[in-house]
Structure 1
Amino acid sequence: MSDALTPQPTTPATPAGATTPSAPAPDGARIIAVTSGKGGVGKTFVSANLAAALTRRGQRVLVLDADLGLANLDVVLNLHPKITLHDVFTGKAALDDAVIAAPGGFDVLLAGSGMVEYSRLTPEVRNQFLSVIQALTPRYDVVLLDTGAGISDVVLFSVSLASEVLIVATPEPTSLTDAYAAIKVLAMQQKRQHVRMVINQAARPGDGRAITSQLQQVLDRFVSTESGRPMRLLHMGDIPADPSVRDAVMRRQLLLLQTPGCPAALAIAQLANKIETTLLSPAA
């Protein structure tokens, strides 16, 4: 894996408008960006089921679909919204009308899919998105931003609004290489000192911790934060490869509702417990 993760001579281009984090949202919810370097690693699946698990623990949770151009949270949750974030941005609907209840007891704010105008971060999109975040955070304990994949300016802006970043990756070399690239950008442009990692589709217990450790070694060699110390990777857990996941996704149902006792569902429940104890407790 180390060869696949060795940095190349080229450095990722700096997306316009994403060099520094945006102003923090007001006091209220803990904002957690769920992101990934590569698409197709189960990021939205993790966001939705993690929200259900946190809700079961008594947290007030909102999942905001921050993948503004290629939204698919509605597909995962089998929702058919009449009002989306696009309608709020264009002034066709009020924000409160766009927030709807999802299976699992949490709230969602869904984005429209295929909106080319949201493929770039314009000042208008930036201001509208920030206004939405500032209006919603006082109402919840946790806001999960289900971002797009990669290091586009829209993704990096969404991530910059979060106090914590949860990167989802799989054990495949392409996923880990892209995760490394995303982590490098977060260290260099957003001055982040740490990010949290979840390894999805882990083949064996302990794989995720070993992968995170190997990735940390690469970061120690090649990436320094503003403080001069290496970026820290905090391993939050593994979600094992589980046939129940595919079945739930194909049925467009939450895994925690369909098969709550399967290995992957239990792992997500453990992830929710770790997030609650490390980020949401009064001492966090």
Structure 2
Amino acid sequence: MSDALSPPPTSSDAPPSPALPSGAAATGARIIAITSGKGGVGKTFVSANLAAALTRRGQRVLVLDADLGLANLDVVLNLHPKITLHDVFTGKALLEDAVIQAPGGFSVLLAGSGMVEYSRLTPEVRNQFLNVIQAIAPNYDVILLDTGAGISDVVLFSISLASEVLIVATPEPTSLTDAYAAIKVLAMQQKRQHVRMVINQAARPGDGRAITGQLQQVLDRFVSTETGRGVRLIHMGDIPADPSVRDAVMRRQLLLLQTPGCPAALAIAQLANKIETTLLAPAA
């Protein structure tokens, strides 16, 4: 494990992240970015099922597919949108017409896939994306940004719009190494004081907390910010390895609807409870 968590080389050419827009997370909805250091760890699966679990708890939830150009939220939810963010950005459709209902009762705003023009953060893409967030935030309690994986400028900009970051990782060494790299960039460029973690496909109870603790030790040793404070990892929960997950993904159905009593679905329900009690509870 120590080898897996040794600090990977981080490019000095990593694109600078924009400053957190003032009021972006205070215009209505609580904005949570769900991201990962590498692809294939179940980030979109977590986003969709977490949205269903929060909706079940009475929250008004929107999932925005922020993986511009490589969108797959529509595949996970078995949706076939006629209007996407691409149509909104190009002025072909109104924003309200692009928001559709997903199975599970929450709203989704889907991005088009294969859009090369969204692989780079141009001023136009930046402004359009920010305008969309500011327009829809007053209508929801929670907005989950299902970002792309990695540390591209588009991914970092998406994350900068959120008040909270939830990183999804698996116990695999490559996932943890990339998670470390992503957290380091968030600490250094966005001055994040804390990052929340969910360990997917955990083999045993308690694995995620132990992994988060080991990752915290590496961050404490190698990452420091201008303030001298290190970034703090907050373990939000584990999602156990569960054959029901693969079955739901292959059927393109929400796990919480298909097999609500399976271990992974129960874990996601617990994650929703923790998010609601720690992030969505009204201030005293």
CA-CA distance at 1:225 after TM superposition: 2.8
Residues 35 and 167 in structure 2, CA contact (< 8 A), matched pair in contact too: yes
Summarize the alignment of residues 223-262 of structure 1 with structure 2, pairs less than 5 Å apart. 223-262=223-262
Report the residue type matching 1:200 in the other structure: N
Q: For residue 151 of structure 2, what is the aligned residue in structure 1?
A: 151
CA distance in 1, matches of 2:72, 2:216: 31
* Alpha-carbon distance change, 277 to 14 in structure 1, aligned in 2, over 3 angstroms: farther
In the other structure, the counterpart of 2:71 is 71
Given the superposition, is the C-alpha separation of residues 13 and 69 from structure 1 closer, same or farther in structure 2, using an over 3 Å criterion?
A: farther
> CA offsets per residue over residues 182-211 of structure 1, 9 Å max, x none?
000000000000000000000000000000
Give % identity.
88
- TM-score, normalised to structure 1's length? 0.97
- CA distance, structure 2, for counterparts of residue 226 and residue 257 of structure 1: 46
Distance in 1 separating the partners of 2:244 and 2:73 = 19
Q: Distance in 2 between matches of 1:24 and 1:176?
A: 32
TM superposition shift of 1:14: 4.2
Q: Residue 105 of structure 1 aligns to which amino acid in structure 2?
A: G
In structure 1, what residue type is equivalent to 2:152? S
C-alpha contact (below 8 Å) 1:24/1:161 kept by paired residues: no
SS at match of 1:272: helix
Contact 1:23/1:161 (8 A) holds in 2: no
Q: Does the residue aligned with 2:3 lie in a helix, a strand or coil? A: helix
Aligned residues of 2:168 and 2:198 also touching (Cα < 8 A): yes
2:191 — aligned with what? 191
Residue of structure 1 equivalent to 2:10: 11
Residue 129 of structure 1 corresponds to 129
Name structure 1 gaps, 5 residues minimum.
Answer: none
CA shift, 1:3, in A, is 1.4
Matches within 5 A, 1:48-127: 48-127=48-127
Matched, 1:21 2:23: no
SS in 2 for 1:186: helix
Tell me how far apart the structure 1 counterparts of residues 268 and 4 of structure 2 sit (CA, whole Å): 28
CA distance in 1, matches of 2:85, 2:18: 25
Distance 1:245 1:51 in 2: 16
CA distance in 2, matches of 1:46, 1:13: 31
Partner secondary structure for residue 201 of structure 2? strand
Distance change >3 Å, CA 14–CA 157, structure 1 → 2: farther
Count of equivalent residues = 283
Deviation at 1:19, TM superposition (A): 5.0
Q: Equivalents in 2 of 1:214, 1:232: separation in Å?
A: 12
CA RMSD of superposed structures (Å) = 1.1
1:22 shift after superposition: 3.4
User: How far does residue 229 in structure 1 lie from its aligned partner after superposition?
Assistant: 1.4
Judge conservation of contact 1:63–1:143 (CA < 8 Å) in 2. yes
Aligned to 1:32: 32
Matches of 1:108 and 1:98 in 2, distance apart? 8
Deviations 1:160-201 (A, max 9, x none): 000000000000000000000000000000000000000000
Task: Name 1:264's counterpart in structure 2.
Answer: 264
Q: Is the 8 A contact 1:192 1:225 kept in 2?
A: no
